[in-house]
Amino acid sequence: MRLDYGLNLEQSQKLVMTPELRQAIKILQMSAVELTQYVNEQLQQNPLLEFNEQGGTAGTEPSGEGKRDDEDKYDIDWQEYFQDSSDLGYPAREKEYASREYGFEAFTAKAPSLSEHLNFQLAISGCPKELQPVVAYLIDSLDHNGYLKAGEEETAQQLGISPEKVVQAIEVLQSLEPAGVGARTLEECLLLQMKYLGLEDRLLEQIIRSYLPHLARGRLDKISDALGVDVKQVQQAADKLKLLDPKPGRNFSNSDDTKYIVPDVLVEKIENEYIVLVNDISAPRVKVNNFYRQAVQKNNPEIDSSVRKYVQSKLNSALWLIRSIEQRRLTLYKVAQKLVERQRDFLDYGIRYLKPLNLKDIADEVKMHESTVSRAAANKYMQTPRGVFEMKFFFSTGIGHKGGTQVSTKSVKKLLQEIIAGEDPRKPLSDQKIADLMAQQGVKISRRTVTKYRDELGIPAAGKRKRY
Bridge partners of 288, per DSSP, are 49
What is the reported pLDDT for 193? 92
What is the reported pLDDT for 295? 67
Indicate the pTM of the whole model. 0.63
What is the reported pLDDT for 285? 77
Contacts of 54 (CB under 8 A, 6+ apart): 92, 95
Q: Can you tell me the distance from the alpha carbon of 442 to that of 352, in angstroms, rounded to the nearest whole number?
A: 13
Helices 447-456/409-421 angle, 10° precision: 80
Convert the pLDDT of each residue in 248-270 to its tens digit: 988 876 655 555 778 889 999 99
What is the reported pLDDT for 403? 63
Bridge partners of 49, per DSSP, are 288
Rg (CA), the chain: 32
Convert the pLDDT of each residue in 146-168 to its tens digit: 999 888 888 888 888 888 998 99
The pair phi, psi for residue 401, each rounded to 5°, is: -130, 160
Cβ atoms within 10 A of the Cβ of 52, count?
17
What is the reported pLDDT for 29? 87
Tell me the CA end-to-end span of the chain in Å, nearest whole number. Answer: 89
CA dihedral sign of residues 320, 325, 327, 328: positive
Q: Domains, the chain, ranges and CATH?
A: 16-90+260-396 (no CATH), 114-241 (no CATH), 398-465 (1.10.10.60)
Closest-CA residue to 316 (of 109, 72, 28, 125): 72
Bridge partners of 269, per DSSP, are 274
Could you tell me where the beta strands, DSSP code E, fall in 5-63?
49-51
What is the reported pLDDT for 385? 92
Cα 420 to its chain centre, rounded Å, is 29
The total number of residues shown for the chain amounts to 468
Give pLDDT < 50 ranges for the chain: 56-108
What is the reported pLDDT for 64? 42
One-letter amino acid of 268: E
Q: Can you tell me the distance from the alpha carbon of 140 to that of 151, in angstroms, rounded to the nearest whole number?
A: 13
What is the reported pLDDT for 97? 40
What is the reported pLDDT for 303? 67
